[in-house]
Amino acid sequence: MKLEGRRESSNVQDRRGSTVAKAGGIGLGGIVLFGLIYLLTGRAPDPSLLQQMGQNTEVSSQQQREFTEEEQALAKFSSQVLASTEDIWTKVFQQMGRTYTPPTMVLYTDAVQTACGQGTASVGPFYCSGDQCLYIDLSFFSTMRQQLGIKNKGDLDFAYAYVIAHEVGHHVEYLLGILDAAHQQMSRLNETQANKVSVRLELLADYYAGVWGHYENATFQSIDDNDLQEAIETAKVIGDNYLQERARGYSSPESFTHGTSAQRMKWLKLGLQTGDMSISTFNVDESQL
């Protein structure tokens, strides 16, 4: 993905080096089980669950250390991707007669306190509507490369960009009122039915990531065929069925919260191809997801 010379976003908080320690309660270790399910899925964790995990006394400290050249390059790249989403979504919202308010991207190390409670690197990148921030521990990108078995095509830069764009997609859902409406609906449903709503939210965030990519490429010709393959392959290996089968040898469709590999690839590609904001995962039958 070609971003040379592109601006960096001013909506970035760099909290790397800050640590959040817990006194009592479930603490950091308790989120590990949470992370086993949502590791590398890019899901916005359920706020109530994070709040339950984070209702303890926090002690923050600042560690002094120099970041590696790779870490700094990833931070710059992430900031440039966020800037691109700001430019693209501002124009798309204008076309819809709306005003786009960009989210803040928070870079952190290991653990972070949010308006949704405490999050950790084990849950992967996530979006919190309570503070309109997306949170990323940049070590996630190394984990993507090392643990997901993604074939090394180029530098995987567009695959990384897709992860960020997916979380921004949740912010778009929030601004359009879709996220809150879905969460309210989920609170009235049993777990299996609520999971189905979650799948629609996650697939829509994938679609919006594709919409961003559509207009990013149309404007800057910054994405080539290898970039597209990177993102599609990433969507494949973060499908619920792929992750569950890799972890335990089988999958349980009733527990899916993000969609299958085929579904995630489908909606990302559809967004990339069309850029059409009239399309929504909430406007189709379950069989069409």
Q: With both helix axes pointing from N to C terminus, report the angle between 225-237 and 157-175 in degrees, rounded to the nearest 10.
A: 70
The whole-number pLDDT of residue 52 equals 43
What's the pTM? 0.84
Question: How confident is the model over 13-27, as pLDDT tens digits?
Answer: 999 987 654 433 322
The whole-number pLDDT of residue 27 equals 29
Q: Three-class SS string for 209-230?
A: HHHHHHHHHHHHCCCCHHHHHH
Question: How confident is the model over 154-171, as pLDDT tens digits?
Answer: 568 899 999 999 999 999
Percent of the chain whose predicted confidence (pLDDT) is above 70? 80
- Residue 28 to residues 12, 118, 230: CA-CA distances in angstroms? 25, 9, 32
Hey, what amino acid is at 26? I
Question: How confident is the model over 182-212, as pLDDT tens digits?
Answer: 999 999 999 999 999 999 999 999 999 999 9
Q: How far, in Å, CA of 28 to CA of 13, rounded?
A: 22
Domain locations along the chain = 12-288
The whole-number pLDDT of residue 68 equals 86
| Neighbouring-strand partners of residue 113 | 118
Window from 31-45, 129-143, 176-190, 233-247 with minimum mean pLDDT: 31-45
Residue in the block written with tokens 């590990």: 32
Q: With both helix axes pointing from N to C terminus, report the angle between 261-274 and 191-220 in degrees, rounded to the nearest 10.
A: 40
The pLDDT-based confidence of 48 (bands split at 50, 70, 90) is very low
